[in-house]
Structure 1
Amino acid sequence: MKRHLIIVFSLFFLLLLFPQRIIAQAIPMPKSEKSKQVKISKAAEDLSNSLDKNDEGKIAENYEQLANEFLNKGDNAKAEEYFKKALTSYTKLKRVEDKTRVTRSIAKVQENQKNFNSAIKNYEAAGAISKDVREEKINLNDANRLKTQAAPVSQAVYVDSNIELLKKENKAEEVAEAYVQKAENSLKQKDKSVAIESYKNALAYAKDKPESIIKIKNEIANVYASDNQFEKAIGINEKLLAEAVTKNDFNTQIKQLQSLATLYFKKEEPNKALVSLKEAYNLASKKGNSAEAKNTLAALAKYYKSNGNEKESMALYEQFFQNFDELIQSDTTLINAKTFHVTEGKIRQLEKEKSLKDELITKKNTFNYFLLGSILLLLLLFGFIVKALYAIKTKNKEIALQSLRREMNPHFIFNSLNSVNQFISENKELEANKYLTSYSTLMRDMMENSNKDFISLDKEVEQLKKYLDLEHLRFQDKFDFEITVDDHLDAESVLVPNMIIQPHLENAIWHGLRYLDKKGFLKLHFKLIADKIVVIIDDNGIGLTKSQELKTINQKVHESRGLNNTNERIGLLNELYKKNITFEIKEKALPESGTIVQIVFPLIDKI
């Protein structure tokens, strides 16, 4: 007999220590537990699929879903683990609203585990990143509520504030939680009536959460029991037990029977307590809930031992020994734990694979960015080189333009000095002095404008008039001239190319008008036609054909160079300033004689 008892106690001790290591096969589990396990398995499978596809958005959502299923099951540690993984993914995706929600969930599960310092930090973090003012206030209220645990009156202010805010946000589940917090706070203040009222308010908002309702009703029963109102407490537990029987919710039945036993012991009705405990033990054994069978058996053994009833205690152990194999085989929670352990192992493997994929993608992206950066750098370098070459090319054109413009000056100076020399040789001292005075004024103006590609029309007209005055002084018996400017032209603001017209005036005088037997006439007109300045140089000299017959070889070369100079300068101006300047020279048709030069400029008011 003694040996038999040793074996029984040994087996019982092993069951108490290592129930989680036994793998069982079983009869169907209660619906509520089966539903929870199905949801957890489904969430885990969804997570596995999203990890396999490396879909970061779905991964975050599935982590959060799995965390919520663990929270519903009461496994706060697992819930916190998966909430944190969801937060990492949401942070990577920069989804602020989701980050706020999950950070608050982490704070809640940390509060459930009494990890208050971490919970406070996460409540504050959720408030800091929240875009909604009320949501920010709710989180900060919770942080302050935990900071003032030692002052229930202060806590009550934050709880009441949250109740009102959560009602406005239409968050029924959280309103229920806040009322539970208010009830707990009232119990700290020894105000049981307010506590019961708060629990009842919580019930109104937890109507869609059966498990929360059961938990809240049990808390109400505990308050009644603490106030020695056992009948009210027992009434609540019996009603919950009846509802659980109707729903075939065996786990709730077991827990309510255990609660009833506790109440009967407090009420000093041990016989009723024993009936409830035995019923709970039989139900737990029958339905394969080894954990609750162990707890109930321990409670029965404790009672019999305290009353010196070793016979009943031994009978219980005998019964336990006889049903031991059946109990272990029917414990579905052990299979479920093993099943999830396998799924979780798969999740861990997929997480490692995802981490490697992300690392490879990061390296690939780094290389791509480096390559793209290098290409951009080369393009910038190429652009800089092109810009530099274009600047050099433009500068060369500007130098060439200046060179062409200055190329006409030596010839003009040479002709002018010849004129002075002629006046001196003919003893015309007055004319020589007058010529030199006008010449110096003209040269000063030309030198001032020598570095400008464009000057105002009034300055250009002034220069050309001074030049024609000089030539008229020398050849006054050969020609007269007139200069006209269209009244619609604003000569002070309109710009024209510098020294483009003068060479053609010189050609008209030297190669056309001076060979006439009679006095000729030179006309210089500036007209505004269709938003363009049309310059017309009209002379009635001998014309191009006759002029060519009279010219020496040097004169022909000079005239050809003069025309080429004009064409080159116009080409460079068009390239540098994108202006459509045109030039045309033609001989008048018989019976008239002479030449017409036409230069067309766009209307330019700034360069």
Structure 2
Amino acid sequence: MKQKRRFILSILFIPVLLFGQGISMLPSELPDSIFGSWVDDKNNVMLVVAPEYIVIQNELYYYNDIVKEKEVINLTCVDDFNVKYVSLTEIDSAGIYLDEGYKITKLVKNQGSITNKLPDAIIGKWYASKNEIKILEDEVLFSDYSYKVDYIISTDNSKHYFVLYKDGEYYFSYSYFNEDGHFLRTNFSKEILFKKESFFQKHFISFISIIILLFLFIGYYLFKWKIAMTKKKEVAKRMFTEMQLKSIRSQMNPHFLFNALSAIQNFINKGDSISANHYLTEFSQLMRLTLDKSEKGVVPLSDEIESIKKYLELEKLRFPFHYMIKIDPKIDTYLTEVPAMLIQPFVENAIIHGLNEKKGEKKLSIEFKIEEENLSCLIIDNGIGIKKAQAKKDTGLKREKYGLKLAENRINLINESYKTNAKVEIIDISNNTRETGTVVEILLPLRY
């Protein structure tokens, strides 16, 4: 098809010699000094002369007519759709004038080496929209066709010019750099501008392989980490259970049992069987509640409040005091859970070392309320305060400190196991006011 178009163009554009009588020539009869590549003053290839074709300003043409007049060679060249008239005037073997009709350019012979191997700088894949071209060392693959290398010239490391051929047809291509990257311009069926594959495109398979391996590596260590965390949680749960048992043993200590049984014996000796039976009933119910909760980590707030009430009623039989339990209406005591037997040691401490040593009216307040996303328990007594209680150095103080220490350890375990921010704060209000007493705030999570 291309040869047919060139034949039609050659019929339509038969050159007419206007000045003198010229000598018609065949391309093979051109002077040997003209063959090769010619560059301008910016080292750009402006002309490539070969026996089969001529490249002018990066456009490849075929010879239609060659006429020599003295030192001037007039060329009529055609491609698929155009006719090109140019004149070449040889100065010497190293210089030539290219006359394109509208301008004359002085060119010099390119001294760069000519090779049939494409440079490494352009080997690889290039992309243009949906088109892809692959450049090998001595051939170019495009649109399922293979194009062989006929001519290669490189003026420097950034400019490469080469001519390809397939089935008797020649195609000119050149590469260049600009601020947007490395580009390749070709003219197979039409002019196409390709861009060199990026580092990511070139190593895409390697990147995918590395990412897959990385995910497998991370997944493996995440799996191991999850197993380790599961084991750690199991250990924490066992420690939590052990702390619960220790807490229960410390709370139901011989001192407390002795006092309770002594009180019952005292009522019996006095013949007050009604009070003795009542005390014994309260005591047995407290024991049952305590044992029921010994197997549980957390219990409903309603159960914990019931245990605290039983304990307070038992202590009131030994010495009188007033107590009050306030519950925020927003709190559902049956759905809200708290660590079993965690609050009782702080209540016992308030009674034994605060109210027991106080003269006059003795008051104890226990309040449950919602504070942001936490359950707050406030234990307020008007006892003698922390400092005075410590100064008395009661023999039971060491035991109570041990109970409080166990409660604090349990809170630390709760934070570690459930990733919460539970805490206890104890304030001696005797320091700041004329009143005496202690405030204990226990802050617990609403959900576990």
Matches within 5 A, 1:68-83: none
Give the equivalent residue in structure 2 for 1:573. 414
Q: C-alpha offsets along residues 282-325 of structure 1, whole Å, 9 cap, x if unaligned?
A: xxxxxxxxxxxxxxxxxxxxxxxxxxxxxxxxxxxxxxxxxxxx
Are residues 594 and 338 of structure 1, via their aligned partners in 2, closer, same or farther at CA, if it must alter by over 3 Å?
closer
Q: C-alpha offsets along residues 550-585 of structure 1, whole Å, 9 cap, x if unaligned?
A: 3345x2322222232232222332333343333222
Are residues 531 and 84 of structure 1, via their aligned partners in 2, closer, same or farther at CA, if it must alter by over 3 Å?
closer
Are residues 586 and 60 of structure 1, via their aligned partners in 2, closer, same or farther at CA, if it must alter by over 3 Å?
closer
- The answer on whether the counterparts of 1:445 and 1:463 sit within 8 Å (CA) in structure 2 is yes
Q: What SS does structure 2 have at the residue aligned with 1:499?
A: coil
Return the offset for 1:409.
Answer: 1.0
Give the equivalent residue in structure 2 for 1:426. 266
Matches within 5 A, 1:520-535: 520-528=362-370, 533-535=375-377
Are residues 50 and 367 of structure 1, via their aligned partners in 2, closer, same or farther at CA, if it must alter by over 3 Å?
closer
Q: What SS does structure 2 have at the residue aligned with 1:388?
A: helix
AA aligned opposite 2:438: T
Give the equivalent residue in structure 2 for 1:538. 380
What is the root-mean-square deviation of aligned Cα atoms in Å? 4.7
Return the offset for 1:532.
Answer: 5.1
Q: C-alpha offsets along residues 186-209 of structure 1, whole Å, 9 cap, x if unaligned?
A: xxxxxxxxxxxxxxxxxxxxxxxx
Where do 5+ consecutive residues of structure 1 fail to align? 1-22, 40-47, 64-80, 87-335, 344-357
Matches within 5 A, 1:167-186: none
- The answer on whether the counterparts of 1:521 and 1:540 sit within 8 Å (CA) in structure 2 is yes
Query: TM-score of the superposition, structure 1-length normalised?
Result: 0.39
Q: C-alpha offsets along residues 364-408 of structure 1, whole Å, 9 cap, x if unaligned?
A: 776665554444333222222332333333333333333223222
Return the offset for 1:506.
Answer: 0.8
Are residues 56 and 425 of structure 1, via their aligned partners in 2, closer, same or farther at CA, if it must alter by over 3 Å?
same
Q: C-alpha offsets along residues 428-471 of structure 1, whole Å, 9 cap, x if unaligned?
A: 26545434433343343334444544443333222211221222
Matches within 5 A, 1:154-553: 340=169, 371-414=210-253, 415-423=255-263, 425-426=265-266, 428=268, 430-473=274-317, 475=318, 477-516=319-358, 518=360, 520-528=362-370, 533-552=375-394
Q: Distance in 2 between matches of 1:62 and 1:539?
A: 85
Q: Distance in 2 between matches of 1:342 and 1:525?
A: 92
Query: TM-score of the superposition, structure 2-length normalised?
Result: 0.51
Q: Distance in 2 between matches of 1:62 and 1:581?
A: 63
- The answer on whether the counterparts of 2:354 and 2:437 sit within 8 Å (CA) in structure 1 is yes
AA aligned opposite 1:426: N
Q: Distance in 2 between matches of 1:531 and 1:62?
A: 60
Q: Distance in 1 between matches of 2:246 and 2:132?
A: 84
- The answer on whether the counterparts of 2:248 and 2:294 sit within 8 Å (CA) in structure 1 is no
- The answer on whether the counterparts of 1:50 and 1:58 sit within 8 Å (CA) in structure 2 is no
Return the offset for 1:502.
Answer: 0.7
Give the equivalent residue in structure 1 for 2:136. none
Q: What SS does structure 2 have at the residue aligned with 1:592?
A: coil
- The answer on whether the counterparts of 1:423 and 1:431 sit within 8 Å (CA) in structure 2 is no
Are residues 25 and 463 of structure 1, via their aligned partners in 2, closer, same or farther at CA, if it must alter by over 3 Å?
same
Q: Distance in 2 between matches of 1:531 and 1:341?
A: 79
Q: C-alpha offsets along residues 506-556 of structure 1, whole Å, 9 cap, x if unaligned?
A: 112222333445562322222445665442222233333333343345x23
Q: What SS does structure 2 have at the residue aligned with 1:542?
A: coil
Give the equivalent residue in structure 1 for 2:115. none
- The answer on whether the counterparts of 2:376 and 2:444 sit within 8 Å (CA) in structure 1 is yes
Q: C-alpha offsets along residues 51-90 of structure 1, whole Å, 9 cap, x if unaligned?
A: 9543354598588xxxxxxxxxxxxxxxxx986549xxxx
Give the equivalent residue in structure 2 for 1:55. 125
Q: What SS does structure 2 have at the residue aligned with 1:55?
A: strand
- The answer on whether the counterparts of 1:586 and 1:595 sit within 8 Å (CA) in structure 2 is yes
- The answer on whether the counterparts of 2:247 and 2:407 sit within 8 Å (CA) in structure 1 is no
- The answer on whether the counterparts of 1:478 and 1:514 sit within 8 Å (CA) in structure 2 is no
Q: Distance in 1 between matches of 2:315 and 2:342?
A: 17
Q: Distance in 1 between matches of 2:365 and 2:438?
A: 11
Match status 1:600 vs 2:439: no
- The answer on whether the counterparts of 1:478 and 1:516 sit within 8 Å (CA) in structure 2 is no
Give the equivalent residue in structure 2 for 1:262. none
Determine which structure has greater relative contact order: mean sequence separation of CA pairs < 8 Å that are 6+ residues apart, divided by chain length: 1
- If you compute each CA radius of gyration, which structure gives the higher value, 1 or 2? 1
Q: What SS does structure 1 have at the residue aligned with 2:278?
A: helix
Q: Where is the strand percentage greater, Structure 1 or Structure 2?
A: 2
Q: Where is the helix percentage greater, Structure 1 or Structure 2?
A: 1
Matches within 5 A, 1:107-186: none
Return the offset for 1:337.
Answer: 9.1
Are residues 83 and 570 of structure 1, via their aligned partners in 2, closer, same or farther at CA, if it must alter by over 3 Å?
closer
Return the offset for 1:503.
Answer: 0.5
Are residues 57 and 466 of structure 1, via their aligned partners in 2, closer, same or farther at CA, if it must alter by over 3 Å?
same
- The answer on whether the counterparts of 2:376 and 2:441 sit within 8 Å (CA) in structure 1 is yes
Q: Distance in 2 between matches of 1:546 and 1:392?
A: 45
- Share of identical aligned residues, percent? 26
